[in-house]
Amino acid sequence: MDYVLTAEGLSKEYKGFRALDGLSLHVPQGAIYGLVGRNGAGKTTLIRIICGLQEPTAGSYTLYGVKSGGRDLARARRRMGAVVEAPAVYQELTAEENLQIQMRVLGRRDGDIPGLLKLVGLENTGKKKAKNFSLGMRQRLGMAVALAGEPEFLVLDEPVNGLDPQGIIETRRLIQRLNRERGITILISSHILGELAQVATHYGFIDGGRMVEETEATALGESLEAHYMELMGGEENG
């Protein structure tokens, strides 16, 4: 099996607190991989390390065959896009202007901005500034910015957190389309089990900074929520 991302023995400490504790991870190419765990389980720390926003204390990870610390890691990261925590958008600019700036940053004069806006459902926002967008619209604009470099691997940290039901549905449909129609491998961090269960093809269950289990969705003999509760000893996921 080909893996886009793997990690072995990955650890991260903050002044005596261990956010990651020897974590392992295997994200297959073409998967929608759901990172499952409570708030504080280590999901965001893992994502920040993968995206180059933090360095691990110990262990390593491999992205598209390039090991962390390798000279070609920056090149491998060009194959990925990410929305970590709040979407990085310019609030005083329109959706089109946000994408124009991102295209210039990437040096892409041939970028299809109208196509990207249509893909994320923002083609009719016109001169409306991002600060006047709904939370769901800003989330989708953040995803459009992340997609501007035509990534093969997309990392999303809590993409439906705080969204209303309509925003959740729109974001879910977009994730499924990106995976199905564009073949993008997607890593999703979330503590909302019901939503993950509707999109994920693979799961990684994290607790206390460790990977408790990795499995395919088809291998679950019960609901995701029931499996989680059994795996974590009946502890609630929140």
Range of the domain at 184: 3-79+151-231
71 occurs within a structural domain = yes
Domain assignment present for 236: no
pLDDT of residue 163: 85
In a domain, 213, yes or no: yes
Considering the domain architecture, whether residues 34 and 69 belong to the same structural domain is answered as: yes
In the chain (238 residues long), the average pLDDT of successive 10-residue segments reads 94 91 96 92 93 93 92 91 84 94 87 90 92 90 92 93 86 92 94 89 94 93 86 60
Tell me whether residue 96 is in a domain: yes
- Do 138 and 157 sit in the same domain of this protein? no
Residue 107 has a pLDDT of 86
Please report the pLDDT score of residue 234 as a whole number.
58
- Full 3-state SS string of the chain: CCEEEEEEEEEEEECCEEEEEEEEEEEECCCEEEEECCCCCCHHHHHHHHCCCCCCCEEEEEECCEECCCCCHHHHHCCEEEECCCCCCCCCCEHHHHHHHHHHHHCCCCCCHHHHHHHCCCCCCCCCEHHHCCHHHHHHHHHHHHHCCCCCEEEEECCCCCCCHHHHHHHHHHHHHHHHHHCCEEEEEECCHHHHHHHCCEEEEEECCEEEEEEEHHHCCCCHHHHHHHHCCCCCCC
Supply the pLDDT for residue 176: 94
Q: pTM surpassing 0.95?
A: no
How many domains are contained in the chain? 2
